[in-house]
Amino acid sequence: MPSIGELRRRALESLSRPSYSLASDKMLLLNDNSNLFGANPAAMEVAESFDFSRLWAYPSENSDILRQRLALEFDASPTEVIVGNGSDELLDIVCKSFINPGDVFCQPAPTFSMYKFYAQVNFASVNEKVSNDDFSLRTDDILKERAKLVALCQPNNPTANLLEPRDVRRILSESEGITILDEAYTDFCDSDMLADVMAAERGIDIRTFSKAYGIAGLRAGFAISREEIIDELRQVRTPFGLNSFTEAVAVAALDRKEWAREKVQEMKVERERLSKRLQSLGFQVYPSECNFLLCSSPMRSDELVGALRERRVSIRDCGAYPLLENHVRVTIGPRALMDRFLEILGPLMAEVSK
Ligand SMILES: Cc1ncc(COP(=O)(O)O)c(C=O)c1O
């Protein structure tokens, strides 16, 4: 009989999957860019009036109420919207819908590592195009790949910068295949390229409730695109993908955006302060349009991340990404949390520089 390993899907053999820190009250989790300013109060409000006795019933197949609310929000038709169990699910669904074994998937590097993961799981041949030193795209190189699927992140994780809109527009309009534009961090900056995605024939704008909206634990994301593309995505999506409580909270979070807006403002103030403090500790900090900072570490990034983990702080080691040797990424949170981080980081840096 073949071993389980021999039964494994061949596309999974060379797969590398990022590891996530265990969610734990005891760790200071500054590694996943969730909303450290807290859970959206819309969740608690909905819980008070939600009819839990109806949980025996399935939700609507395609989360119709949330889709309608999103359509209103983004001036689209509900038929141009699809929701998923986190935007991660939608990234997987896009790959499932469009990739045939061996089709070329192209992404810049460094960028969010899960694009490549889902493309590989779904049998794509992955070609990464390392960006320029200033993290701008090598647009011609990406276009030359004539990929079936291109994934871009605007602003980009983990480099925290905005891609040049002109480059994004060129890829959207000149690619023969599908272009994912992941705007997971759009609420933290002034950029919004939905209109460009909709103007292009084959773009998909993907967004999430996990960041500014503060409900990562409920798992909700959405994609907006032309109806023809959304129809394709619906073919492969599992029915009833989003649970009814999450759907109700996501709607309420959109109805009460003040909380998210307020927390984004607080985050920006803290981002500025943390950036200065990290620079004074010897880090080179990049400008950020997101709720995290990318920094070049004065010591080896794996050692820094390991030493912090021993002290119950989790930050992301980006050292294995192209262009990011010895770089780390830190999620921004409220002042008290950042002070706790600095109280641990400061003495650690003093110790290693002795
Ligand atoms: C760029 C980007 N896209 C998508 C996601 C996934 O978010 P979700 O929680 O909606 O699956 C993340 C999460 O960190 C991200 O950074």
Domains and CATH numbers, the chain: 4-39+258-352 (3.90.1150.10), 41-255 (3.40.640.10)
Q: Please write the tens of the pLDDT for every residue from 283-321.
A: 999 999 999 999 999 999 999 999 999 999 999 999 999
Measured N-to-C along each axis, helices 258-280 and 335-352 cross at an angle, to the nearest 10 degrees, of: 20
- Ligand 1 test: best mutation among 30, 36, 157, most atoms within 8 Å of CB? 157
Cα–Cα distance measured from residue 132 to residue 323, given in angstroms and rounded to the nearest whole number: 9
Cα–Cα distance measured from residue 52 to residue 9, given in angstroms and rounded to the nearest whole number: 40
Q: Which atom of ligand 1 is nearest to the CA of 210?
A: 9
Average pLDDT over residues 178-191: 97
- Our answer on whether the CB atom of 86 is closer than 6 Å to any ligand 1 atom is yes
- Our answer on whether the CB atom of 59 is closer than 6 Å to any ligand 1 atom is no
Q: Are residues 93 and 177 in contact, defined by beta-carbon separation less than 8 angstroms?
A: no
Q: Please write the tens of the pLDDT for every residue from 35-77.
A: 999 999 999 999 999 999 999 999 999 999 999 999 999 999 9
The label of the residue with tokens 């993290």 reads 135
Query: Is 70 exceeded by the pLDDT of residue 22?
Result: no
The label of the residue with tokens 């930050």 reads 315
Average pLDDT over residues 86-108: 97
Alpha helices in 58-138 (DSSP H): 64-73, 87-98, 114-121
Q: Which residue has better confidence, 214 or 241?
A: 214
- Our answer on whether the CB atom of 315 is closer than 6 Å to any ligand 1 atom is no
Residue-wise burial string across 200-227, b where 16 or more C-beta atoms lie within 10 A, e elsewhere: bebbbbbbbbbbbbbbbebbbbbbbbbe
- Our answer on whether the CB atom of 33 is closer than 6 Å to any ligand 1 atom is yes
Q: Please write the tens of the pLDDT for every residue from 135-177.
A: 999 999 999 999 999 999 999 999 999 999 999 999 999 999 9
pLDDT, residue 180, reads 98
328 by Cβ neighbours in 10 Å (0-12 / 13-18 / 19+) ranks as: buried
Of all protein residues, the one whose alpha carbon is nearest to atom 3 of ligand 1 is 184
State how beta strands 292-296 and 313-314 pair. unpaired
Token pair in block for residue 193: 């390229």
| Whole-number percent of the chain with pLDDT over 90 | 91
Residue 88 CA to ligand 1 centre (angstroms): 6
The Cβ-side half-sphere exposure at 96, using a 13 Å CA radius, reads 14
- CB-based contacts of 314, cutoff 8 Å, min separation 6: 21, 27, 28, 29, 30, 31, 305, 308
- Our answer on whether the CB atom of 87 is closer than 6 Å to any ligand 1 atom is yes
* Banded pLDDT at 21 (limits 50, 70, 90): low
pLDDT, residue 338, reads 98
Average pLDDT over residues 178-205: 97
Residue 208 CA to ligand 1 centre (angstroms): 7
Q: Please write the tens of the pLDDT for every residue from 326-348.
A: 999 999 999 999 999 999 999 99
Residue-wise burial string across 339-351, b where 16 or more C-beta atoms lie within 10 A, e elsewhere: eebbebbeebbee
- Our answer on whether the CB atom of 291 is closer than 6 Å to any ligand 1 atom is no
The label of the residue with tokens 């004065």 reads 298
Residue 3 CA to ligand 1 centre (angstroms): 34
pLDDT, residue 16, reads 74
Residue 348 CA to ligand 1 centre (angstroms): 30
Distance from the Cα of residue 332 to its chain's centroid: 15
pLDDT, residue 353, reads 74
